[in-house]
Structure 1
Amino acid sequence: MFATVSRSFLGLLVRASGHQTSRSISFSNAQRSGAYDSDGKTTITILNNEPGLGLMVDSYSKVGFRLNNGSFVVGPIALFPKTVLSWNVQSDEDINEQSLDLFTVLEPRPDVLIIGFGNRPEFKIQLDRLLHTFRVKKKLNLEILPTDRAVSTFNFLNAEGRYVVAAMIPPKAINTTDDDYAMSRDRKKKLYLYDD
């Protein structure tokens, strides 16, 4: 099962100009007076469908990551705005100064290095302590986040045009919600064209 990246962060980007991938929401004349656009229309663009924004993560599983270009990458990844590499770590416990050396020699230097460590919240404190001197010594802007939040943060910063790099490990467990089950059921209905 795949966890779809949170729509609220992956996001929906509100723009004043229309795009091929945008949807318009119309308002009545009474509602127009408070609209911030001159014609009272708001357009919503889904970032992952926007051409030219670079690579983004559409979904992830316990096995790997599905990117917005349709490819699926198995295992831990090092993700750049236009490139993805396999990251040679086996688990979050392998994250250390040596496994992050690649990111210190990049030119130009990334604005932010995001580390997605899986989904053990207690591990963040341990990683923060372990990488504190590394962060200071190498002068890196480092964000250490659970993988689900790392994915959302990478997608958002990449869409803003920042030079962001992410090193992420697939989570060992994925939390599902009722919305996930409902979306899965709806996709299955569309796929098999049947009613309950």
Structure 2
Amino acid sequence: MTLSETPLKDCYIIEPTVFEDERGYFYEKFNEKKFTEITGMNGHFVQDNISKSTFGVLRGIHLQKGEHAQAKLVSCLEGRVWDIAVDLRHDSPTFGKWFGLEISGENKKQLYVPRGFGHGFAVLSETAIFAYKCDNYYSKESEGGIIWNDSDLMIDWKLPLSEVILSEKDKNLPAFSQGNF
């Protein structure tokens, strides 16, 4: 397992060691002890979520606020997604900045998104199965978000605008400038 820094403070790319042969492959997707050793952070996760989506589906930008804030370790088990993290911590030197990474069933990369960040992804393949481990439980009352096409953030979602598929909730999220985080 290797760790690479991103331009965002405390947000990391994690790549597992993959063993391949004529039968296929094997890798350890998560190991709490190794995770804590390489990141220096708590690797205790309490909830796993899986979603399946089709090409063009964009989920985000989502977050959990306050005592229900969540750190996430995200991966794509099948297909390809463009995954983004946005630093929403007011005291961070990278506040208001975003980072994107293609993660897929093929490259097996994972992105660690710390508490205080917004998160979203867009599906680039015909379908994608997306997984995320969370270090805190979901709370509907603590939901927050930012509109996906926010003019201050200027996120490149790697999709033609005509192909973007959004939930009603995601269509109505507030702007970054409203500070709903």
Larger Rg computed on CA atoms: 1
Establish whether TM, by shorter chain, passes 0.5: no
* Greater strand content: 2
Q: Using CA pairs under 8 Å that are at least 6 residues apart, name the structure with larger relative contact order, 1 or 2.
A: 2
Q: If the length of structure 1 is used for normalisation, what is the TM-score? A: 0.24
Write 1 or 2 for the structure with the bigger share of helix: 1
